[in-house]
Amino acid sequence: MGWRVLRGDDSAELDLRVRYAETDRMGVVYYANYLAWFEMGRSEYCRQRGFNYLDLEELGYHLVVAEVYCKYRKPAKYDDLITVRTSLHALQGRSVVFRYLVLRKETQETLVEGETKHLCTDAQGKAKTIPEPYFTHLSRGLPR
């Protein structure tokens, strides 16, 4: 997985403050918790493209996570202000790939980079094409 810098125009940003609950005994954010931030990032991405991920679920669809990759560069710490920058990396009929940069807001240092691949399914877990108008909403974020 080769990493390239995400361009701001294609991405959606979300700020959050690190919770005490998210730290571990090493004094830094526990490594699994970044995945919850990724999820917040892609929800925000959808919101900025004109829909709620919830709408898709209420229609009976899920974007099930198929793969995750995460590279940890520097730790986030309690009370840090964090920016999660989410962009769309790939979109096909039944699958979508998001990329994430987790930054320390003040310094814009990259702490963590990640990627998630999702498959669109119905409530029974059967693969489905991402329905309209959501496919079109998503595609507006594709890198040009």
CA–CA dist 93, 123 (Å, integer): 17
As a whole number of angstroms, the distance between CA 52 and CA 36 comes to: 17
Of positions 32, 59, 81, 142, contacts its own copies by CB under 8 A: 32
Q: Residues, the chain, total?
A: 144
Compare residues 4 and 25 and give the one whose CB is closer to its own copies: 25
Count the Cβ atoms, other than its own, within 10 Å of residue 138. Answer: 21
Indicate the residue among 72 and 135 with the shorter CB distance to its own copies: 72
For its own copies, which residue of 13, 49, 51, 78 counts as binding (CB under 8 A)? 78
Q: Which of 64, 81, 90, 142 binds its own copies (CB under 8 A)?
A: 64
Binding mask 1-20 for its own copies (x = CB under 8 A): ----------------x-xx
> 129, 93, 110, 116: which is closest to 38 by C-alpha?
116
Catalytic residue among 24, 55, 79, 122: 24
CB burial of residue 110 (10 Å; 0-12, 13-18, 19+): middle
Q: Is 24 a catalytic residue?
A: yes
How far apart are alpha carbons 17 and 105 in whole angstroms?
10
* In the complex, least distance from residue 121 CB atom to its own copies, rounded to whole angstroms: 10
Q: Which CB sits closer to its own copies, 33 or 48?
A: 33
CA distance 88 to 10: 8
CB of 46 to its own copies, least distance (A): 10
Specify whether the CB–CB gap between 113 and 1 falls below 8 A. no
Residue ranges binding its own copies (CB under 8 A): 17, 19-21, 23-28, 30-33, 35-36, 39-40, 43, 52-54, 62, 64-72, 78-79
